[in-house]
Amino acid sequence: MTILAYDLGASSGRALLGRLNGGKIEVEELHRFPNDPVQAGDRLHWDILRLLHELKQALLKAKHRGIKPSSIAIDSWAVDFGFIGANGELLGNPYHYRDRHTDGVMEQLIEELSATEIFARSGIQFLPFNTIYQLAALKRADSPLLREAKHFLMIPDLLRYFLTGDMYNEFSNATTTQLFNPVEGDWDEELLRAIGVPRELFGEIVQPGARVGKLRPSLCEELGIEPVDVYAAAEHDTGSAVAAVPALERSFAYLSCGTWSLMGTEVGEPVINELAQELNFTNEGGVYGTYRLLKNIMGLWILQECRRSWERAGNSYDFPELVKLAGEAKPFAAFIDPDDPVFLHPGDMPARITEYCERTGQEAPAGAGAVVRCVLESLALKYRYVLELTERLSGQTFSGLHMVGGGIQNILLCQWTANAIGKPVWAGPVEGSAIGNMAVQWIASGELADIWEARKAIRESFPVETYEPEGHEEWAEAYRIFRSTTNLAED
């Protein structure tokens, strides 16, 4: 049996075929495509219909190869959404979470409700682009989208609806909205009332592994294919990536590394207390009764934007070339806090790094290699900072760090992360989100017994590269300077 996993990241999407063969997982890339946001006037949007087109192209490629998947599931980034109107049609293109329409809204809502109440009701980290602030921004702007909306669907929910005609809200993604109450296990009506958005927009929440329909007849007729079962995976891509962590121990720390870096651990119950709020951690839904206690870190977005800026200036670098230049640059010359607000929105990222360094009394890095080294070293040191907070909050001590996702192809980042944390890094698999997506489909169909059998199969099917820490004294001193420079010393 062959299954199909759609994995949509913030910069690209892919469709992968998965097969279980003698307990080993075989994965084959079927289709890959860019996922570029579109600036239209003052607003930044996702090109959602282009994404639907690419999902269809993958189905056509499978058909042309004589492959009929036994099931399909989708995962994507979190927080963003679309509205469906009374006639069942999409209302407008979904906004991109980096759009500026939410600027200042989080601060306003915290002043009105208090951070303590919002966190107690949701257990979710305060980030200015969370769904709650996007919806509040639309309400305060008297958006016609909200006036006409009948259904709220997050990005995978929306694409599933296009494929099947059925509407459900999946659990792992619903928790990221900061509108889901993990204690009550449902949408939080008090928070919805506070932002002025009707509860009726929000539908039934289904768990990862639920069967949520079949490909709709009109789509099957259009593509000349037969109906296929569609399942809900852990539809937040980090939830799927964590499902794919090839851990042998029940207590483990992970880093899902891509456009965003997400670091934390898996817990049985959400951790909603004063310390979790103070450290600005989040409790996002996981698979099979778990929560992901984690913290968002800006990630390779900064490097991606640097590369785009250099391309606009006529200097094109591929990522291996940038990694090579970084390896040749002077170490520990300058540091940034990757999560400083200056790095959130699209723009001239090298100039913003210069601005940050000047603001913090450092000499700004000169040249692409120095800039990339600054970004990668700063990420590695921020990972140490967040790992130590994770241990403090969870009461656990981790023997090393599992890294999954596309970012692990950057061997400098993996090695420097091991150096920074002073512990081994186990890197793999690269396609963590897609493989976790597949694992949930196989468990749902009975091919795998549970998540631990799935993790064992993943461990035995994909290479895991071990990076041992090096240069302890140099990295310990760099960490001290990093915390002082970035003003993280007192947290």
- Based on the residue annotation, tell me whether 450 is a catalytic residue of this protein: no
257: burial class by Cβ within 10 Å (0-12, 13-18, 19+)? buried
Nearest to 2 by CA among 78, 76, 80, 59: 59
Active-site choice (157, 237, 339, 340): 237
For residues 326 and 345, give the distance between their C-alpha atoms in angstroms, rounded to a whole number: 24
One-character DSSP codes across 38-75: EEETTEEE--HHHHHHHHHHHHHHHHHTT---SEEEEE
For residues 92 and 162, give the distance between their C-alpha atoms in angstroms, rounded to a whole number: 14
Place of tokens 């998947």: 69
Contact assessment for residue 201 and residue 149, using Cβ atoms and an 8 Å cutoff = yes
Place of tokens 């468990």: 443
For residues 302 and 237, give the distance between their C-alpha atoms in angstroms, rounded to a whole number: 20
Sign of torsion, CA 399 78 157 219?
Answer: negative
Residue 24: CB atoms within 10 Å: 12
Write out the catalytic residue numbers.
237
